[in-house]
Amino acid sequence: MAKVAEIIHQVEDHDAEVRTGLDHALTQAAKFFAWAIFVAFLISVVEVVSRYVFNSPTFWAHETTSFLIAAVFLIGGPVALARDKHIRVRMFYDAVGPKRKRVLDIVNSLIALVFFGGLAFASWIMVSKSWFTPTGAFHLEGTGTSWNPPTPALLKLLVLICVVVMFVQTLLHLIAAIRRPADPAAPVETGAE
Amino acid sequence: ADYEWTFQTSETAGEPGFVNKQKWADDVATLSGGRIAIEILPIGSVVPHTDTLDAVGAGILQGHLTDPSYFSGKDPAFAMMGNLVGAWSDPFELLGFMQSGGGNELYSELVEPYGVKFIGAAATEPEAFVSRLPIRTVEDLKGVKLRAPEGMVYEIFSKAGAAPVSLPGSEIFSALDKGVVDAADNTVFATNQALGMNDIANFPLYPGFHSLPMIDVSMNKQIWDGLPEDLQEILLTSVKQFSFNHIYSVRQLDASAVEQAKANPEIEIINWSGDERAKFRRIAQQEWQNWAPKTAMTQRYYDAVTAYLKGRNLL
Amino acid sequence: MDLSALGIEYGSYLLVAAIFLLLLTGQPLAWVTGLVALVFTFGWFGPMALPLVTSRIFGFITEYSLVAIPMFILMAALLDRSGIAKSLFNGMRILAGRLPGGVAVQTLIVAILMAAMSGVIGGEIVLLGILALPQMLRLGYDRNLSIGVVCAGGSLGTMMPPSIVLIIFGLVANVSIADLFVAAITPALLLLAFYVAYVLFMCWRNPELGPPMSEEEAAQESLASALRSLAAPLFIVFVVLGSIYGGVASITEAAAMGVSAVMIISLFRRELTVKLIQDSLVHTLETCGMIIWIGIAAAVLVGVYNLMGGNRFVAQSILAIDAPPVVIIMVMMVILLVLGMFLDWIGIALLTLPIFVPIVIQLGYDPIWFGILFAVNMQVSYLTPPFGPAAFYLKSVAPREITLKHIYVALLPFIALQLVVLGIILFFPPIATWAI
Ligand code: NA
Ligand code: NA
């Protein structure tokens, strides 16, 4: 029975593949960002209590929770990428030898770079529209409520940041894959073909 | 067809507004002799409802038929022009203001920098109010937990003594059903009745007094500018036609829904007196004054509306 | 490159083929779907249309009902780390006594309770995946059976009221949400009954699949200690259900109430530490990242497919049929099942319901009944490859040696059961409509 507990623990902490320094930094940063979920949880409870017990719903809880969770969703992308946790269909990938696997890694990184590059371009347009009016004046897009926090503008910027981070992560993975020896027994220095 | 366009709307496919907007597209096809074919898509089909203005400007969508309040986060003028809470109790008053009180000109000016051409305004019947509690006067609003969406509504209900709750549309039904909220600002009476809202919250307020959103029919400006004059005229005229058709159709639907609700002994429809409506409008007016100085445009809009309402002896 | 020259029919085929091909490379699924959507946006409409992609990303992440997902995952992570999960399953094992498969049956009952606590899929499966899967494996249950129970049971949340699927159907079809909720209960329980019967039958034939306690073990364990270990989980269920049905919290907020219940209990058990909270939060963040980015990519794909005229393609397929009404309904079911292999339910709803519902009404059928058929169909779509959200949710928390292929194979019998229930409701509408 203890063995299963170990397996579970291992799944969560050890078999993640942290490949580069940036990935490591993101894994560390995740420990800070994750508290946003805790804050969102506390705010939800505060809203329920003040509404149900004191009959005075807050004007800020709903939008703040939405913002925090949306930010968590976005940041989760690079963090999961850092630990190689994104879901893949590995049937074919696991069946090939190290040499082909390296080629696949390179091709996949290149494809992913196209994806993140395209997203970065599109996010850039989205961000500029939410930070500036059509006449070019600086104005943060808000939620449009009476409170009107500028969370849409901030989240749109966060989309751009996360996409750019994932672009750089992938670029580093690509470099690592190119440098990796095609023959896993060979030392790294002589690895490049 | 010479022109094939996609217009996104602000309704789900089952709502009367969506069906009527599809009829408008059919009319445009007929009037243009098949030269214009417009596909009408429900809310959220291509881009989220808050993003159609940008999408039309960029030419991703060629047009939209929507509630301008959704763009309030871009400019407070959209909140005021989209739904000036408490101002209108009849859609023809709103349309009258748009046509002859300067509304059309101001709104055109507002959207033009986004690369969008305002074709025309339509309106719906005043929205209904669903409630678990009998709310017969402004006084009765005190302490009522009511769901209010974006825009000016929240603050106005708060001033009227209610405890507004912000909830997304998809949570309204369950929240009302279980009593998380006592009342909700929702769409027109006919739709509420069809969705079963009046069955779980038995004291609907009808005709509504608080919310009468404008429907903005707009399209990409570059495409508009390239159109031959006769097609431009067809679009302008057909939107006027649409606004009549839409109002009368919702009126008819509301009427038969009211009859249906009256046949149910558990539902009591509450109709506010003229005095109570005026009381509410005076509260709303204070909030208009708060919004007016936000930008040059909100001020101009505020001045135009108050002048129009005074001239009609409604203020 | 002008992809629009292909026309919608061949465009659809190319889109599906591209997704399949790219999936085989082992590229993360989210990037595959997203990239195909991005390339089609660019190739069909040109570079000026690209903001559509990011616009949908923003729209998806700010969907308020999704706030419940991290709360459910957090709840699960806390339960798992605090040891409440382990004692719950120990207790369930004692309750199951000598009945083969007894723990799996109880897991299904936990699943239907959770279904009544939530409206969106995702959180529940992750919760069951973290909570029940390792425990069932620990107790010697068959892997496939355990996976199937978790995914099929966990999907019931969108069938059992409150359910966002039914609310959206009601809004789209303009029919009573109250009636939909009432009509959904019997079919949801029917699905549950089929799952239970299947588990019991399989374990009766081969008790190895769900091994009961031995005589000696049974003699050692007391019923009283079993019931004690169930008290804490029952308190959590009571808090969540109580806050929904007592009108205290909205469905989304109720998940946060559940988190506080778990925290209070583990505080009393002296298991709550900052480290435990920190670890649970990081786990939640990472799991959200995995499953939400798949959702984001799917949402982008739906947006561009709608703009390409995907809905016209669906409409053509229906209008081309000249057959009795029931055949048309069956064709609709087949279309939904096929789309269910590639899109998530909200995309399918956006794409098909505006076309299907008016036809259903015109044919003289009850739209409420069709809504239930739709909901059951979406149950199937959660499990079917290659895009099976339930499989992804489970994969995101399952031990790494459990691959997607294992999960999909394990789900096949449960998909078959769902199809049987779909057929039953199709041919015996009163199963859905008797109560309204
Ligand atoms: Na549910
Ligand atoms: Na599927």
Q: By CA distance, what is C304's nearest residue in B?
A: B46
Residue A78 near chain B (CB below 8 Å):
no
The number of beta carbons lying within 10 Å of the beta carbon of residue A32 is 11
Say which residues have a Cβ less than 8 Å from residue C166's Cβ, sequence separation at least 6: C158, C177, C180, C181, C184, C371, C375
C223 and C106: one domain? yes
Q: Is residue C278 part of a domain?
A: no
Residue B27 near chain C (CB below 8 Å):
no
Q: CB–CB of C257 and A48 under 8 A?
A: yes
Residue B159 near chain A (CB below 8 Å):
no
* Domain limit, last residue, from C250, C285, C308: C308
Instruction: Note the ligand closest to the C-alpha atom of C167.
Output: 1
Q: Identify all chain A residues contacting C62, using CB atoms and an 8 Å cutoff.
A: 66, 70, 152, 155
Q: Is residue C323 part of a domain?
A: yes
Instruction: Note the ligand closest to the C-alpha atom of C112.
Output: 1
C303 and C162: one domain? no
Q: What CA–CA distance (Å, rounded) separates C150 from C393?
A: 10
What integer pLDDT is reported at residue A6 of this predicted model?
42
Q: CB–CB of C58 and A37 under 8 A?
A: no
Q: What CA–CA distance (Å, rounded) separates B167 from B185?
A: 11
Domain tally, chain C: 2
Which of the other chains make 3 or more beta carbon contacts under 8 angstroms with chain A?
Answer: B, C
Residue A8 near chain C (CB below 8 Å):
yes
Mean pLDDT (chain C) is 90
Higher-pLDDT residue of B194, C80: B194
Q: CB–CB of C162 and B13 under 8 A?
A: no
Q: Is residue C277 part of a domain?
A: no
C98 and C108: one domain? yes
What integer pLDDT is reported at residue C1 of this predicted model?
67
C100 and C217: one domain? yes
Q: First CA to last CA across chain A, in angstroms?
A: 47
Q: Is residue C293 part of a domain?
A: no
Give CA separation, C85 vs C74, C78, C357, C388, in Å. 13, 9, 43, 26
Q: How many helices (H) and strands (E) does chain A have?
A: 7, 0
What integer pLDDT is reported at residue C135 of this predicted model?
86
C174 and C132: one domain? yes
ipTM of the complex: 0.91
Q: CB–CB of B48 and C58 under 8 A?
A: yes
Q: Is the pLDDT of residue A186 over 60?
A: no
Q: CB–CB of A144 and B71 under 8 A?
A: yes
Percent of chain C with pLDDT over 70: 100
Tokens of C39: 């390339």
C28 and C116: one domain? no
Instruction: Note the ligand closest to the C-alpha atom of C115.
Output: 1
Q: Identify all chain B residues contacting C171, using CB atoms and an 8 Å cutoff.
A: 12, 14-15, 169-170, 195
C20 and C91: one domain? no
C47 and C86: one domain? no
Tokens of A68: 């925090």
DSSP structural state of residue C65: G
Q: Is the pLDDT of residue C418 over 80?
A: yes
SS3 track for C242-300:
HHHHCCCCCHHHHHHHHHHHHHHHHHHCCCCCHHHHHHHHHHHHHHHHHHHHHHHHHHH
**Average pLDDT, integer, range C109-136:** 84
Q: What CA–CA distance (Å, rounded) separates B6 from B13?
A: 15
C204 and C347: one domain? yes
For residues B173-210, one letter each, b for 16 or more C-beta atoms within 10 angstroms of the residue's C-beta and e for the rest, the string is bbbbbbebbbbbbbbbbbbbbbbbbbbbbbbbbbbbbb
* Domain limit, last residue, from C261, C290, C308: C308
Higher-pLDDT residue of A89, C359: C359
**Average pLDDT, integer, range C99-103:** 92
| Cβ proximity of C153 and C108 under 8 Å | yes
Q: Is C7 left (phi over 0), alpha (psi -120 to 50) or beta?
A: left
3-state secondary structure of B268: coil
Q: Is residue C260 part of a domain?
A: yes
Percent of chain B with pLDDT over 90: 78
> pLDDT tens digit string along B121-143?
999 988 888 999 999 999 999 99
Q: Is residue C280 part of a domain?
A: no
Q: Is the pLDDT of residue C330 over 60?
A: yes
With 0-12 CB in 10 A as exposed, 13-18 as middle and 19+ as buried, what is C77? buried
Q: CB–CB of A76 and C30 under 8 A?
A: no
Give the pLDDT band of residue B84 (cuts 50, 70, 90).
very high
C293: closest CA among A11, A67, A78? Answer: A78
Q: Is residue C285 part of a domain?
A: no
What integer pLDDT is reported at residue A2 of this predicted model?
38
The neighbouring-strand residues paired with B185 are B129
* Domain limit, last residue, from C264, C280, C308: C308
Q: Is the pLDDT of residue A41 over 80?
A: yes
**Average pLDDT, integer, range C198-213:** 93
What integer pLDDT is reported at residue A14 of this predicted model?
45
C373 and C304: one domain? no
With 0-12 CB in 10 A as exposed, 13-18 as middle and 19+ as buried, what is C380? buried
Instruction: Note the ligand closest to the C-alpha atom of C389.
Output: 2
**Average pLDDT, integer, range B251-277:** 94
Q: By CA distance, what is A87's nearest residue in C?
A: C28
Q: Identify all chain C residues contacting B194, using CB atoms and an 8 Å cutoff.
A: 174-176
What integer pLDDT is reported at residue A94 of this predicted model?
83
C111 and C2: one domain? no
Query: What is the full DSSP assignment across C299-352?
Result: HHHHHHHHHHTHHHHHHHHHHT--S-HHHHHHHHHHHHHHHHTTS-HHHHHHHH
Q: What CA–CA distance (Å, rounded) separates B232 from B32?
A: 10
Q: How far is ligand 1, taken at its centre, from the CA of residue C233, in Å?
A: 19
Q: By CA distance, what is B161's nearest residue in A?
A: A56
What integer pLDDT is reported at residue A185 of this predicted model?
54
The DSSP bridge pattern shows strands B63-66 and B214-220 to be: antiparallel
Hey, which of B310-314, C168-172, C355-359, C365-369 has the most confident mean pLDDT? C365-369
C245 and C340: one domain? yes
What integer pLDDT is reported at residue A193 of this predicted model?
31
What integer pLDDT is reported at residue C233 of this predicted model?
85
Tell me the residue range of the domain where C41 lies: 1-62+299-308
CA distance A134 to chain B (A): 6
Mean pLDDT (chain B) is 93
Give the pLDDT band of residue C248 (cuts 50, 70, 90).
very high
> pLDDT tens digit string along C30-80?
999 999 999 999 999 999 999 999 999 999 999 887 888 899 889 888 988
**Average pLDDT, integer, range C256-269:** 92
Comparing CB atoms, the residue among A11, A30, A94 nearest residue C399 is: A11
Q: Is residue C93 part of a domain?
A: yes
> pLDDT tens digit string along C281-300?
999 999 999 889 988 998 99
Higher-pLDDT residue of C300, C162: C300
